[in-house]
């Protein structure tokens, strides 16, 4: 029993001894698990926003050095990055190649001049052709209408004659001698008209041949230039369709009368046809009046400003082509009149043929005995023929009108001559540039003080029409450019005075205003900032650091930025130390307090007043993760 | 027939013993059960559903994790453990210092009105804590003893039950022995110290064991008079336990059982005597 008690007492001793030891171990473990924190108290103050950025100076303006393209570079005297002064030699062009280029340009200009002449000739001929078409259409109209009217008259006469024959048959009468005589007279008149028209046509042909011969003779003597000089403005029409060189007194051809001359048979001797008006003497006089010799129809006058230069072309022998050209021009002038005369011959022959047919019909009717029924049928047939003739007359008028309207449509404007003239002027400008380069002995000089940034010319290569060299114009000054973050852009604006510190010598340039601030096109999160540099500050291409500090208003509660935390809902909070009673006694624990951040920078955060008092210790750092309720101790 | 009755009696006692020991087994198996097993078995208690909590005789996945967590990772447990030790020892010493002389005086000295005092003790002893709590609270507050260890220790030192129990022991000492000592010239203190205490030692030990167990397990007094959690005894550790810390609770209960068990094993004879005497009449 006594041994048992000793064992129990020994066990109790071991138990309490173990409890003492485990108490110490447990305490040690517990203390090891407590976060050691550093604390600070909230302070009053302002939030300073500092903007720092590195950048470099760039030029305000570039200068492009250009020259005529397609020339060979003889030598290049400068390199990229080299500083030059105004008038310094940049590169030299190959003079032999330049001379060749000038010669080629002159030859091209001559070719262009000839091309322009051809273009204007073509335009003039086209205009003449169009007028001929209009006259032809009018003539066709007149001819068709006249023919239809004749048919209509004849049908009407046949109808009257059939009705009269029927009436005579019913009255017992036999024929009418007066009608036969009138038909014979009409037949003779038509024969006379045919002869007259043929004589007129022959006269016109002879007159045209004489005119061709006369023009060719004058051309050989140099009175008329074969082609106009396109380089002289007065000779080039501004609007080709108006044809300023056409003679204004071109006689108009009477539409419904045959053409007659002063030497031909007087009008009173020509048997008058019922449907053809008499031609007035003055109209025939103006019609046969020859064209003025000093006013060529197609060719412009010689240029008074350069008579000596052009006269050399006119004194030579005319070629066969030039003769043909003159002949064609004269034929074109007479084409309308000749075609009108030919139409009159055809009309007269047609009228004569109809008169003979009418006379033959009359004789046939008189010889054959007819019953009343035959006569009635003949009247009806004549009535139908008359109706058809009236219809044909109407159709002829409609078709003729359409032809006239179609011929009166304006031709598309031919601008080849004007375009050629513009091209010629451009070539002339190019020639002037080439000649200017030749005068400068092919040397291309720097237009201003600057630094060569790009060179696109190499010795032996050909020049292009684009920039030969690009240089920085030092006379226009430099500006500092850098990029800042979107967050920094909130605190700096246009006009704010910044400080630039040169990277090389560390020299500072203060109070330089921000010139521009805009969002970068490459990156939306960056902003491009520029500062216009005054003279004698940073040189072109220098690197520098921009600094700017903006202070906010005074806040009553500012805490270190490390004391500020964000929870899962992106709400800001701080952890403060709080003394709590626990089983282990009084201890420090972290307490979470939600706050509203008014402003912050990378050092401090201004909190809304009332969220944290200045007596509270803010946990700003810890040797391990600390959350609300964590036991802490101050280091 | 007599043998059959004896066998039935043994069986009945074994069943009763198992019934009494089952909570201890409950604490032991709980201390070695894993946390997930405890949560699965005991969650109906905390979920307040009609489903009944279950328990297995042996843990499905035995582990020392709960015990290790209590012993190494819970400094609060040790704080409360040593608080309990401190309170229990102080009460024990205080009772030895105050209650033993008081009981001797009431039992052996011829003081006027001692019978009435003894009756008053009996009345006070019969009163439950709920009756005495408010007057005690007022007195402790008047003496500024609230939220101090004295608020728990002093009322226990001056409690009526130890005096009543010791009174019985001291009263049982034969009067002749004491009279002989007086005739030999011994003083009253010497009689108490050299005759009374040795003869009443079983009673003193019995009172000590009972007082220790009472103070080791006290819950109401510290919960009422102590607001400072740092002064709480180990008996208040378990009410703080949640379902998530149930393993720690069983581990703490197991450890809490050890001192009382050791003390009981050591002084079981005196405890039985004390309980026997406390059941007697004056």
Query: Tens of pLDDT along A317-340?
Result: 667 887 888 888 888 888 888 888
- pLDDT tens sequence across B18-50: 998 888 888 889 889 888 888 888 877 777 777
State yes or no: pLDDT of A173 exceeds 70: no
**Rg of chain B over all Cα atoms, to the nearest angstrom:** 23
Give the separation between CA A605 and CA A42, rounded to whole angstroms.
10
> Measured between beta carbons, which residues in chain B are less than 8 angstroms from residue A586?
230
Contacts of A92 (CB under 8 A, 6+ apart): A73, A74, A75, A77, A441, A442, A443, A444
8 Å CB contact between A185 and A329? no
With 0-12 CB in 10 A as exposed, 13-18 as middle and 19+ as buried, what is A502?
Answer: middle
Q: Of A416, A112, A414, which Cα lies nearest the Cα of A242?
A: A414
Give the largest Cα separation in chain B, rounded. Answer: 75
Residue A255: per-residue pLDDT: 40
Residue A414: per-residue pLDDT: 67
Q: For A53-83, b where at least 16 C-beta lie within 10 A, e where not — what string?
A: bebebebbeebebebbeebbbbebbbeeeee
Residue A174: per-residue pLDDT: 52
Give the separation between CA A74 and CA A438, rounded to whole angstroms.
13
Residue of B77, B82, B262 with shortest CB distance to A8 = B262
Across the range A121-141, mean pLDDT stands at 82
8 Å CB contact between A260 and A284? yes
3-state secondary structure of A49: strand
| Strand-pair partners of A76 | A91
**Arithmetic mean of pLDDT over chain B:** 87
Residues of B with CB under 8 A from a CB of A: 71-82, 85, 228-230, 232, 258-259, 262-263, 265-266
Residue A154: per-residue pLDDT: 84
Residue A593: per-residue pLDDT: 92
**Arithmetic mean of pLDDT over chain A:** 80
Residue B78: per-residue pLDDT: 92
Residue A274: per-residue pLDDT: 40
pTM higher than 0.80: no
Query: How many C-beta atoms surround the C-beta of residue A242 within 10 A?
Result: 10
Contact state of A8 with B266 under an 8 Å Cβ cutoff: yes
Contact state of B71 with A581 under an 8 Å Cβ cutoff: no
- Least confident range from A87-96, A292-301, A535-544: namely A292-301
Question: What is the percent of chain A where pLDDT is above 70?
Answer: 82
* Mutation site for A-interface testing, chosen from B78, B255, B269 by largest number of A Cβ within 10 Å: B78
Residue A222: per-residue pLDDT: 58
Give the separation between CA B213 and CA B260, rounded to whole angstroms.
6
State yes or no: pLDDT of A190 exceeds 60: yes
Question: What is the percent of chain A where pLDDT is above 90?
Answer: 20
The continuous run of DSSP H or E covering A169 comes out as helix A95-171
| Strand-pair partners of A501 | A508, A545
Confidence of residue A504 (pLDDT cuts 50, 70, 90): confident
How many Cα atoms sit within 13 Å of A635 on the Cβ side? 12
A264 is written with which tokens?
A: 């031909």
Q: From the CA of A22, how many Å to the nearest CA of chain B? A: 6
- pLDDT tens sequence across A453-491: 889 999 999 998 888 999 888 888 889 999 999 888 888
Across the range B201-221, mean pLDDT stands at 88
> Measured between beta carbons, which residues in chain A are less than 8 angstroms from residue B262?
8, 11-12, 15
Residue A250: per-residue pLDDT: 38
Contact state of A584 with B262 under an 8 Å Cβ cutoff: no
Q: Of B95, B28, B101, which Cα lies nearest the Cα of B66?
A: B28
- pLDDT tens sequence across A253-280: 334 333 333 333 333 333 333 434 333 3
Pairing state between β A35-40 and A618-622? antiparallel
- Least confident range from A202-211, A247-256, A529-538, B32-41: namely A247-256
Residue A90: per-residue pLDDT: 92
Rounded alpha-carbon distances, angstroms, from residue A6 to A13, A377, A428, B207, B273: 10, 175, 134, 21, 21
Give the separation between CA A538 and CA A507, rounded to whole angstroms.
9
Give the separation between CA A498 and CA A214, rounded to whole angstroms.
92
- Least confident range from A40-49, A306-315, B127-136: namely A306-315
DSSP class per residue in B65-103: HHHHHHHHH-HHHHHHHHHHHHHHHHHHHHHHHHHHHHH
B208 is written with which tokens?
A: 């000590």
Contact state of A22 with B81 under an 8 Å Cβ cutoff: no
Pairing state between β A478-485 and A43-59? antiparallel
State yes or no: pLDDT of A86 exceeds 80: yes
Residue A213: per-residue pLDDT: 86
> Measured between beta carbons, which residues in chain A are less than 8 angstroms from residue B71?
22, 26
Question: What is the percent of chain B where pLDDT is above 70?
Answer: 95
Residue A487: per-residue pLDDT: 84
Residue A316: per-residue pLDDT: 52
Across the range B72-83, mean pLDDT stands at 90
Give the separation between CA A355 and CA A192, rounded to whole angstroms.
12
8 Å CB contact between A342 and A170? no
Contact state of A15 with B263 under an 8 Å Cβ cutoff: no
Across the range B47-68, mean pLDDT stands at 82
State yes or no: pLDDT of B200 exceeds 80: yes
Residue A263: per-residue pLDDT: 38
Give the separation between CA B191 and CA B170, rounded to whole angstroms.
12
Contact state of B78 with A26 under an 8 Å Cβ cutoff: yes
Q: For A346-372, b where at least 16 C-beta lie within 10 A, e where not — what string?
A: ebbbbbbebbeebbeebeebeeeeeee
Contacts of B252 (CB under 8 A, 6+ apart): B70, B74, B77, B234, B237, B238, B241
8 Å CB contact between B129 and B164? no
State yes or no: pLDDT of A247 exceeds 60: no
Q: Of A559, A524, A580, A518, which Cα lies nearest the Cα of A39?
A: A559
- pLDDT tens sequence across A66-78: 888 888 999 999 9
Contact state of B259 with A8 under an 8 Å Cβ cutoff: no
Give the separation between CA A588 and CA A627, rounded to whole angstroms.
13
- pLDDT tens sequence across B87-146: 999 999 999 999 999 999 999 888 888 889 989 988 988 888 889 899 999 999 999 999
What B105-112 contacts at long range (C-beta under 8 Å, 24+ apart), as own/partner pairs, is B106/B163, B106/B167, B107/B166, B107/B167, B107/B170, B107/B171, B107/B173, B108/B170, B108/B171, B108/B173, B108/B178, B108/B191, B108/B192, B108/B196, B109/B188
State yes or no: pLDDT of A291 exceeds 90: no
Residue A513: per-residue pLDDT: 92
Residue B275: per-residue pLDDT: 66
> Measured between beta carbons, which residues in chain B are less than 8 angstroms from residue A8?
262, 265-266
Residue of B73, B80, B262 with shortest CB distance to A15 = B262
Query: B242 or A572, which is more confident?
Result: A572
* Phi-psi sector, A534: left (phi>0), alpha (psi -120 to 50), beta: beta
Is the CB of residue A26 less than 8 Å away from at least one CB of chain B?
Answer: yes
- Least confident range from A203-212, A238-247, B6-15, B72-81: namely A238-247
Contact state of B262 with A19 under an 8 Å Cβ cutoff: no
């Amino acid at each position: 029993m006594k041994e048992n008690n000793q064992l129990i007492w020994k066990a109790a001793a071991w138990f309490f001894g173990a409890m003492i030891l485990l108490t110490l171990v447990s305490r040690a473990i517990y203390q090891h698990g407590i976060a050691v924190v550093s604390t600070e108290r909230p302070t009053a103050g302002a939030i300073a926003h500092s903007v720092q950025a590195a950048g470099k100076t760039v030029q305000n303006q570039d200068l492009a050095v250009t020259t005529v393209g397609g020339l060979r570079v003889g030598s290049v005297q400068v390199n990229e990055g080299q500083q030059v002064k105004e008038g310094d030699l940049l590169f030299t062009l190959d003079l032999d190649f330049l001379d060749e280029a000038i010669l080629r340009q002159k030859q091209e200009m001559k070719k262009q001049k000839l091309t322009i002449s051809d273009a204007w000739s073509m335009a003039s001929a086209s205009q003449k052709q169009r007028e001929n078409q209009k006259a032809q259409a009018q003539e066709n109209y007149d001819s068709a209408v006249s023919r239809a009217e004749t048919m209509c008259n004849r049908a009407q006469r046949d109808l009257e004659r059939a009705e009269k024959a029927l009436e005579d048959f019913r009255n017992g009468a036999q024929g009418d001698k007066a009608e036969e005589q009138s038909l014979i007279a009409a037949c003779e008149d038509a024969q006379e008209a045919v002869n007259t028209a043929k004589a007129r046509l022959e006269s016109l042909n002879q007159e045209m041949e004489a005119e061709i011969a006369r023009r060719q003779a004058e051309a050989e003597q140099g009175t008329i230039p074969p082609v106009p000089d396109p380089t002289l403005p007065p000779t080039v029409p501004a609007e080709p369709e108006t044809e300023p060189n056409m003679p204004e007194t071109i006689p108009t051809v009477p539409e419904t009368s045959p053409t007659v001359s002063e030497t031909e048979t007087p009008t009173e001797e020509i048997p008058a046809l019922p449907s053809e008006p008499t031609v007035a003497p003055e109209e025939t006089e103006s019609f046969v009046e020859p064209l003025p010799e000093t006013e060529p129809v197609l060719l412009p006058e010689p240029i008074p400003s350069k008579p000596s230069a052009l006269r050399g072309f006119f004194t030579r022998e005319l070629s066969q082509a030039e003769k043909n050209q003159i002949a064609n021009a004269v034929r074109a002038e007479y084409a309308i009149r000749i075609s009108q005369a030919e139409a009159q011959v055809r009309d007269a022959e047609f009228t004569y043929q109809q008169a003979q047919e009418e006379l033959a019909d009359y004789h046939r009717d008189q010889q054959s005995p007819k019953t009343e029924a035959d006569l009635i049928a003949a009247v009806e047939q004549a009535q139908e023929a008359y109706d058809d003739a009236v219809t044909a007359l109407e159709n002829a008028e409609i078709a003729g009108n359409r032809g006239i309207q179609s011929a009166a449509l304006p031709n598309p404007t031919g601008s080849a001559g004007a375009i050629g003239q513009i091209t010629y002027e451009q070539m002339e400008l190019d020639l002037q540039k080439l000649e200017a380069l030749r005068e400068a002995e092919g040397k291309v000089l720097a237009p201003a003080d600057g630094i060569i940034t790009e060179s696109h010319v190499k010795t032996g290569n050909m020049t292009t029409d684009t920039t030969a060299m690009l240089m920085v114009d030092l006379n226009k000054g430099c500006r500092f450019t850098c990029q800042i973050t979107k967050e920094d852009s909130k605190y700096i604006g246009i006009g704010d005075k910044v400080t630039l510190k040169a990277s090389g010598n560390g020299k500072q340039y203060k109070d330089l205003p921000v010139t521009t601030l805009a969002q970068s096109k490459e990156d939306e999160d960056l902003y491009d900032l520029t500062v216009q540099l005054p003279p004698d500050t940073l040189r072109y291409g220098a690197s520098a650091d921009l600094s700017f500090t903006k202070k906010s208003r005074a806040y009553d509660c500012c805490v270190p930025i490390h004391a500020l935390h964000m929870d899962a809902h992106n709400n800001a909070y701080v952890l403060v130390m709080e003394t709590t009673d626990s089983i282990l006694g009084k201890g420090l624990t972290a307490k979470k307090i939600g706050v509203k951040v008014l402003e912050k920078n990378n050092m401090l955060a201004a909190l809304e007043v009332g969220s944290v008092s200045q007596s509270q210790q803010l946990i700003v750092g810890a040797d391990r993760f600390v959350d609300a309720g964590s036991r802490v101790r101050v280091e | 027939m007599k043998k059959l009755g004896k066998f039935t009696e043994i069986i009945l006692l074994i069943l009763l013993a198992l019934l009494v020991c089952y909570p201890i087994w409950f604490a032991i198996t709980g201390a070695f059960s894993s946390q997930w097993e405890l949560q699965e078995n005991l969650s109906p208690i905390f979920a307040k559903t009609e489903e009944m909590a279950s328990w297995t005789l042996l843990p499905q996945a035995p582990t020392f994790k709960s015990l290790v967590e209590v012993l190494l990772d819970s400094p609060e447990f040790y704080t409360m453990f040593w608080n309990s030790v401190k309170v229990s020892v102080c009460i024990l010493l205080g009772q030895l210092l105050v209650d033993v002389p008081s009981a001797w005086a009431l039992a052996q000295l011829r003081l006027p009105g001692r019978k009435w005092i003894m009756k008053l003790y009996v009345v006070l002893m019969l009163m439950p804590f709920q009756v005495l709590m408010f007057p005690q609270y007022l007195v402790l507050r008047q003496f500024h003893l609230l939220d101090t260890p004295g608020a728990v220790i002093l009322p226990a030192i001056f409690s009526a039950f130890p005096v009543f129990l010791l009174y019985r022991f001291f009263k049982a000492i034969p009067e002749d022995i004491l009279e002989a000592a007086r005739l030999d010239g011994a003083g009253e203190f010497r009689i108490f110290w050299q005759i009374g205490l040795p003869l009443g030692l079983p009673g003193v030990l019995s009172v000590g064991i009972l007082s220790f167990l009472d103070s080791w397990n006290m819950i109401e007094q510290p919960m009422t008079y102590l607001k400072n959690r740092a002064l709480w005894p180990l008996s208040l550790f378990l009410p703080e336990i949640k379902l998530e810390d149930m393993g720690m609770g069983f581990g703490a209960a197991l450890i809490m059982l050890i001192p009382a068990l050791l003390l009981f094993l050591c002084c079981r004879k005196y405890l039985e005597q004390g309980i026997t005497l406390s059941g007697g009449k004056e």
